[in-house]
């Protein structure tokens, strides 16, 4: 018994003197067994602690029941403050009367400090969750709500107190509860975060929610509960839908154009290209969208366009720019127009116009004009030569 990790000592109910004092009692109290044996509490401890022992002794002797004190503060002989969990157990004689009192105490100072630290951390975490703009709640493995912030409760039509302790199945409509439980099971199967999207119609308006399901684990890595974080992404979805609608309109507008049209964002990534442009480069649309504009320009053309885009970026007053280049055996006019949003460069519109036929026609016209001009000059020269001969004959 002297090697026990718990402090224990035994007192006589008659004299209240200590008759047994183990090594752990020495360690906890700082009082040796030689100093304690045969002494009463009043001879060993301050009056307030000795009075506490007397009161506890009397309660156990009178009731004959074990008394449990979950937490009490004691001071060792060196004034060090400790927290102990104490039980007082009556030991009966042959007449079933308490003859001795067994005190069993355990130093829980470190555990208490850890609990206090965890409680403080939990309170900070809870405050953070309560102040978050997202709807947040947690359930245990039996699907009972163990935490819910006010935003989540409000969205579900109540207060946190209306839901804590209730199961998902009892607190929510069957379809919603069923979907949440299904996603909990998916998360438990993988042990990793699980994200899904939920759409609800509230008073005729569509709302989108991005829901993150996270496991909460103990120190052994075992899942003890599940945390849900629901974020309202309706505005983002509405913006995405508007962008898609505008993109569809733009695509419809440029599809039938008899010139290549390409839009690139501020990062020089192509976000739209019409069929004419793709056919001109003999590429599929998927080989163009999402690629850098610099994938399709090289050499002198690359240098000219790169210089112009740099000017577009640095000077919002830059005007559109045009250049004619021979590319892939075709004569093309490249027209670049900067796009600005709130005074900041947001991309570029590139028009590609095939003027090969026009250039060829112009060249042919120039050749015809040149030949015609030579022909006229030849005729005039011939006339001049005949006239000179005639005058020479008459003069002779």
Determine the 3-state secondary structure of 151 from DSSP: helix
Residue 77 CA, distance from chain mean position: 53
- Per-residue pLDDT reduced to its tens digit, 324-339: 777 667 788 888 888 8
Whole-model pTM above 0.85? no
Give how far Cα 268 sits from Cα of 218, 240, 351, Å: 48, 21, 15
- Per-residue pLDDT reduced to its tens digit, 238-264: 777 777 777 677 667 777 677 888 888
Nearest to 302 by CA among 261, 334, 343: 334
Tokens at 243, concatenated:
């962008």
Beta bridge partners of 330: 327
**What pLDDT score does 206 carry?**
80
The per-type count for the chain, helices as H runs and strands as E runs, is 13, 15
C-alpha span between 166 and 203 (Å, rounded): 26
Residues ≥6 apart with Cβ < 8 Å to 263: 250, 270, 271, 272, 273, 339, 347, 348, 349, 350
**What pLDDT score does 79 carry?**
64
**What pLDDT score does 195 carry?**
84
**What pLDDT score does 124 carry?**
62
Nearest to 321 by CA among 350, 347, 301, 345: 350
CATH 3.30.450.20 boundaries in the chain: 7-113, 132-232, 239-354
Superfamily of structural domain 7-113: PAS domain (3.30.450.20)
Give how far Cα 59 sits from Cα of 8, 39, 68, 77, 102, Å: 19, 21, 11, 27, 13
Residues ≥6 apart with Cβ < 8 Å to 358: 331
**What pLDDT score does 110 carry?**
77
**What pLDDT score does 278 carry?**
84
**What pLDDT score does 2 carry?**
45
Per CATH, is 132-232 categorized as 3.30.450.20?
Answer: yes
Positive or negative: CA dihedral 273, 277, 278, 279: positive
C-alpha span between 290 and 269 (Å, rounded): 6
Determine the 3-state secondary structure of 83 from DSSP: strand
| 307 phi and psi angles, rounded to 5 deg | -65, -40
Determine the 3-state secondary structure of 352 from DSSP: strand
**What pLDDT score does 3 carry?**
45
DSSP secondary structure code for residue 329 in this structure: T
**What pLDDT score does 118 carry?**
63
Give how far Cα 196 sits from Cα of 204, 214, 362, Å: 22, 12, 62
Per-residue pLDDT in tens (0 to 9) along the chain, 396 residues:
444 567 778 999 999 999 888 888 877 777 888 888 999 988 888 888 888 888 889 999 999 999 888 887 776 655 677 788 888 899 998 888 999 999 888 888 777 776 776 666 666 666 666 667 788 898 999 999 988 888 888 888 889 899 999 998 888 888 888 888 888 888 888 878 888 887 777 667 788 888 888 888 877 788 888 888 888 888 888 777 777 777 677 667 777 677 888 888 999 998 888 888 888 778 888 888 899 988 877 777 788 888 888 888 888 887 788 877 776 677 888 888 888 888 888 888 888 888 877 777 777 777 777 777 777 777 666 665 555 554 555 554
Fold annotation for 239-354: Beta-Lactamase (3.30.450)
C-alpha span between 55 and 67 (Å, rounded): 11
């Amino acid at each position: 018994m002297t090697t026990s990790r718990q402090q224990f000592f035994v007192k006589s109910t008659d004299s209240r003197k200590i008759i047994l004092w183990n090594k752990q009692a020495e360690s906890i109290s700082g009082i040796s067994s030689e100093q304690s044996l045969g002494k009463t509490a009043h001879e060993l401890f301050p009056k307030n602690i000795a009075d506490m022992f007397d009161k506890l002794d009397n309660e156990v002797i009178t009731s004959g029941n074990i008394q449990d004190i979950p937490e009490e503060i004691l001071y060792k002989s060196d004034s060090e403050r400790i927290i102990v969990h104490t039980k007082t157990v009556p030991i009966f004689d042959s007449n079933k009367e308490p003859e001795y009192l067994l005190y069993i105490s355990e130093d829980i100072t470190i555990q208490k400090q850890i609990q206090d630290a965890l409680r403080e951390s939990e309170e900070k975490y809870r405050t953070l969750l309560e102040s978050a703009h997202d709807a947040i709640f947690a359930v245990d493995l039996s699907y009972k709500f163990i935490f819910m912030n006010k935003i989540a409760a409000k969205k579900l039509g109540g207060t946190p107190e209306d839901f804590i302790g209730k199961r998902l199945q009892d607190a929510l409509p069957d379809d919603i509860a069923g979907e949440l439980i299904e996603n909990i099971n998916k998360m438990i199967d993988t042990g990793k975060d699980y994200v899904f999207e939920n759409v609800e119609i509230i008073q005729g308006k569509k709302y989108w929610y991005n829901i993150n399901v996270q496991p909460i684990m103990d120190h052994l890595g075992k899942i003890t509960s599940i945390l849900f974080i629901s974020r309202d992404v309706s505005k983002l979805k509405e913006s995405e839908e508007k962008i898609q609608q505008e993109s569809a309109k733009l695509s419809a507008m440029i599809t039938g154009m008899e010139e290549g049209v390409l839009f690139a964002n501020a990062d020089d990534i192509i976000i739209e290209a019409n069929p004419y442009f793709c056919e001109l480069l003999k590429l599929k649309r998927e080989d163009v969208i999402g690629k850098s504009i610099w994938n399709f320009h090289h050499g002198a053309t690359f240098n000219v366009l790169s210089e112009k885009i740099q000017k577009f970026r640095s000077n919002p007053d830059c005007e559109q720019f045009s250049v004619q280049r021979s590319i892939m055996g075709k004569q093309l006019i490249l027209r670049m127009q900067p796009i600005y949003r709130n005074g900041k460069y947001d991309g570029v519109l590139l028009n590609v116009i095939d003027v090969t036929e026009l250039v060829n026609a112009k060249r042919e016209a120039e050749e015809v004009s040149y030949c015609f001009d030579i022909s006229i000059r030849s005729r005039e020269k011939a006339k001049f030569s005949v006239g000179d001969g005639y005058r020479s004959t008459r003069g002779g």
